[in-house]
Amino acid sequence: MALSIESLRAFQAVAETGSFTRSAEKICKTQAAVSLQIRQLEHYLGKDLFLRERSGAKLTEHGRVLHKYASKILSAHSEVISRLSHPEPVSTIRFGIPDDYKLTCLPVLLSCFNEVFPNVIIEAEIESTYELEQLLDRGELDLAVITKALSEGEQGDKFMVDRLIWASAIDSKAYMERPLPLAIYTKPSQFYEWAISTLDAVGVKYRTAISSSDITTLHAAVSAGYAVAPMLESEISIGLKQLDVSDGLTSLPTVKVCLAYPKGSSSNVSRKLANLIADDISKIIGRKVSEVKKCRNSFARKSLGNDVAYKLQNFQ
């Protein structure tokens, strides 16, 4: 015999009323049925649970122990029944994230969403920051991760900083070509506007080597040594290198990563998701940057020698 809910409910009623008669009335059973359930409990546990006196039923020491656990068990039982019989209403959150973070961050975020918020449906939109801001302005998103130049005025809740850098394949000489072959994002993009502006400012001629609305296609072109492109440091994959002023290219802006909401108030669910996103993305990106730097330094030591590797490490 296991501890049945009905037996525990009868026990709880007697413990609270101190009377088999009143407890029977409370749980709508006969006094005989209540007495039988209590005797079965005592027989199963091998302990007396009540002192039966003329003044009523009083808990024994063992009865007080069971009373503490019975209260928790019955409370949890009621909560489960209520939760499953009347599930919480399902919420839908329209969430936007830039193309740049879709490979490293999106899979982990969606997995966390499902685990922490099982009753929330996430509709993910993958676009450039420019387009995500347009969607927010039109009220078509509830929450979005956006990237802005660190020097720009505050917009949204900043939770981390990333670096925009020029990237090239490690063994590629494409960055030495003039006009400079670029992998260009065809959608409106602040990153590419900043990149073009810096090239124009120093008089570097450039050409479009490949253009695409898919960020992974551009990464593939850079990895193949076919072109160079502005990328976030956290998105630099193994096999790529960072270009700098010594390669004839100027520095690009430091980027702040923000959580943005539509104009007006945001929902409680959106705010809860925002906290989860900020924590997870910060960890993911921080870990990715550390891994890339570690592999980059290891490659430099093997291929370029310790002196160059030391300079590279200190430059970072």
Most confident of 19-23, 76-80, 216-220, 225-229: 225-229
The region, left, alpha or beta by phi > 0 then psi within -120 to 50, assigned to residue 46 is left
E-strand ranges in the chain read 50-53, 56-59, 91-98, 120-127, 143-149, 157-169, 180-185, 206-212, 229-232, 240-243, 254-260
DSSP string, 157-191: EEEEEEEEEEEEETT--GGGSSSEEEEEESS--HH
Rounded CA separation 129/72 (Å) = 49
What domains are there in the chain, each with its CATH number? Answer: 5-85 (1.10.10.10), 92-315 (3.40.190.290)
Least Cα distance to 299 among 205, 170, 210 occurs for 170
Confidence of residue 157 (pLDDT cuts 50, 70, 90): low
The residue ranking higher by pLDDT, 1 or 268, is: 268
The residue whose two tokens read 């839908």 is 92
Peptide bond into 179 cis (omega under 30): yes
pLDDT of residue 224: 94
Predicted confidence (pLDDT) per residue in 217-271, tens digit: 998 999 999 999 998 887 777 788 889 888 888 888 888 888 888 876 566 666 6
Q: 246 versus 28: which is more confidently predicted?
A: 246
Q: What is the pLDDT, as a whole number, of residue 183?
A: 93
- Confidence band (pLDDT; 50, 70, 90) for 56? confident
- Identify the weakest region by mean pLDDT among 101-105, 137-141, 160-164, 307-311: 307-311
Q: What is the pLDDT of residue 291?
A: 54
**Average pLDDT of the residues in 293-304:** 45
Which pair of structure tokens corresponds to residue 94? 């329209």
CA dist 251 and 163 (Å) reads: 10
305 pLDDT band (50/70/90 cuts)? very low
Say how far apart CA 2 and CA 170 lie, in whole Å. 67
End-to-end CA distance of the chain: 68
Residue 296 contacts residue 167 (beta carbons within 8 Å):
no
CA nearest to 216, candidates 103, 108, 125: 103
Is residue 229 within 8 A of residue 196, CB to CB? The reply is no
| b/e burial code for range 69-82 (CB count within 10 A of at least 16 → b) | ebeebeeeeeeeee
pTM comes to 0.57
Q: What's the mean pLDDT in 297-306?
A: 43
Q: Is the pLDDT of residue 141 over 50?
A: yes
CA 272 to chain centre: 10
Q: What is the mean pLDDT of the chain?
A: 79
Q: What is the mean pLDDT of residues 64-91?
A: 79
Q: Is 44:1 a contact under the CB 8 Å cutoff?
A: yes
Of 29-38, 76-85, 140-149, 184-193, the poorest mean pLDDT is in 76-85
Cβ(297)–Cβ(176) under 8 Å?
A: no
pLDDT at position 309, please? 37
pLDDT score of 314? 39
Where b means 16+ CB within 10 Å and e means fewer, 135-145 reads bbeeeebbbbb
Structure confidence by residue, pLDDT tens digits, 178-206: 999 999 888 777 888 888 998 998 899 99
What CA–CA distance (Å, rounded) separates 252 from 286?
A: 20
Interhelix angle 268-304/306-315, nearest 10 degrees: 160
Average pLDDT for 77-88: 71
pLDDT at 1: 55
Q: Write the secondary structure of 274-307 as one string of H (helix), E (strand) and C (coil).
A: HHHHHHHHHHHHHHHHHHHHHHHHHHHHHHHCHH
pLDDT at 215 over 70: yes
